[in-house]
Chains A and B, each alone.
Chain A
Amino acid sequence: MSQNALAKLLSENDWLMADGATGTTLFNMGLTSGDAPEMWNVEYPDRIRALYKGAVDAGSDIFLTNSFGGTASRLKLHDAQDRVGELNRIAAELGREIADKAGRTVVVAGSMGPTGEIMQPMGPLSYEGAVEMFHEQAEALKEGGADVLWVETISAPEEYKAAARAAELADMPWCGTMSFDTAGRTMMGVTSAAMAKLVETLPNPPLGFGANCGVGASDLLRTVLGFTTAGATIPTIAKGNAGIPKYVHGHIHYDGTPELMADYAVLARDCGATIIGGCCGTTTEHLRSMREALERGGTWRLFLGLGRHRRQGPRAPRKARPPPELIPATDRYIDAPS
């Protein structure tokens, strides 16, 4: 069997860049609040192609499909619970089309967000019920040509396990991130150390695990450090928001600048992340700036007291890179730890 595209990229590179925001980008294209983004796979496929192409052109090695809310329980809100197969398949097909035209290996990651329901015993959703919903979505993403499944913004360990099982049933490699938004834990109280332990014990471990969304880029870095400290052996993923959402001139604006996200990207790598991207508010402009900073090869490790970079596992030799800038000389670094 040929090696999976993501596994291949991971074996050949020290780090990979994922994509940015889906929701924020679609809003800027005219999606209205409260409507299901997944409908646009059918209604406005060109806009979804533009979303994907934006990430690819900005240097992403991986992009996520427009299928975050594609489980039956989420689509039910829009009376589209019967369209899980169609909407997810098309999300992946459009992705395949863009990735295959990229001229380099780009991974199409089939996004799977939370069901939105609470798992038993606290809520009504059974483990089997969650597996069934995720599995239905997973099969459609697979059919549409996704390279991997990408479970994201999960808060409950049971739901994470259910998604893992669905990936196993669909015979698909997968990655899975949680959202750490409550006092350094997920809403359901999972710590970064607990998540690192959880993924190592799964019967079908993910290719990558980590954190997405949450409360801003800096908070997410602390979570990544938690994974590293816990001794994670599976590659870690950092997909933080571009700052904090603010309401400016009639729309949501995230206050993180491209420069901030460039620093975040390098810091995330310093903290141990292998796959680095953005979440809400991360535009193609942010992504370009992140790519550039990551390629420039700078590091804050010595500043952070983390010592020199240590490679985890066998990797191909690094490409020659320009010397790192250890102490950038602009005012915005005034608060950096000394």
Chain B
Amino acid sequence: MADEDDIILSELEDDDLVAQMMDDLYDGLADEIVEGTNILLERGWAPYRVLTEALVAGMTIVGHDFRDGILFVPEVLLAANAMKSGMAILKPLLAETGAPTIGKMVIGTVKGDIHDIGQNLVTMMMEGAGFEVKNIGINNPVENYITACDEFDADILGMSALLTTTMPYMKIVIDQLVAEGLRDKYIVLVGGAPLNEEFGKAIGADAYCRDAAVAVETAKTFMARKHNQRAGA
């Protein structure tokens, strides 16, 4: 529509620009997100502030509407792509400025499972929320998880499965962690369409996360608990 084309991002006040970026993120407009991110940086915003106040805040709305069944995977993927293009600008800057990391996560789909939509969304949302994430992709046997967690010095291990034929593999990974005495070293989060909370508990995971937004909230809660335990020790 013509009047939408008339919005000139660089002419907006900071507050209006951030609100507009949230709308653009919601609509999955990658070019506009890149433009908005650059404008805020030029105006002297710290990269971490752009990330949290514009991108993460916008993605949180997307996450909530996904959780509530208002948005579905296609819209969320487009929003995530838009966020990714903003993140591409911010990531090197964040590394330079030493922005705080909440925790480190390794994530991957289990052996035999090709479906990585969910974990890619989780990766995006977790990074947005300030976690460092190593996404080890699809079809991971137990050794991949254990090696990656060790090399990456992970706090959290995330496993994803979309098939009822692959979800039991999560138990195999957890059993192996127990056998190697590593289970307590990591927070284990699981997710995927056929799973449920009871299943997560039964296989010995710390939590089942029904979607990417819940995964971020759950990860934050567990990390806070972990810090408190360390502080109390």
Residues of A within 8 A of B (CB): 23-24, 27, 31, 33-37, 73-74, 77-78, 116-118, 122-123, 155-156, 181-189, 244-248, 250-252, 280-281
Contacts and interface: CB of A to CB of B under 8 A. Distances in A.
Contact of A189 (B72, B165, B168, B171): B72
Nearest to B203: A247
B111 A34 contact: yes
Contact of B141 (A34, A36, A244): A34
Given A122-B74, A182-B72, A245-B196, 16 more contacts: A31-B165, A33-B165, A34-B110, A34-B111, A34-B112, A34-B141, A34-B169, A35-B112, A74-B114, A122-B77, A181-B193, A184-B69, A189-B73, A247-B202, A251-B168, A281-B164
A279 B193 CA distance: 15
A124 B111 CA distance: 22
A27 B22 CA distance: 46
Contacts of B111: 33-34
B164 A280 contact: yes
A155 B115 CA distance: 12
Nearest to A187: B73
B178 interface: no
Contacts of B110: 33-34
Contacts of A122: 73-74, 77-78
Contacts of A117: 114
A33 B172 CA distance: 9
Contacts of A280: 164, 194
B199 interface: yes
A51 B171 CA distance: 26
Contacts of B93: none
Interface in B72-86: 72-75, 77-78
B166 interface: yes
Contacts of B139: 77
A196 to B, nearest CB: 18
Q: Which of A33, A183, A189 has the most CB of B within 10 A?
A: A33
Given A122-B74, A182-B72, A187 B165 contact: no
Interface in B191-223: 193-196, 198-199, 202-203
A334 to B, nearest CB: 23
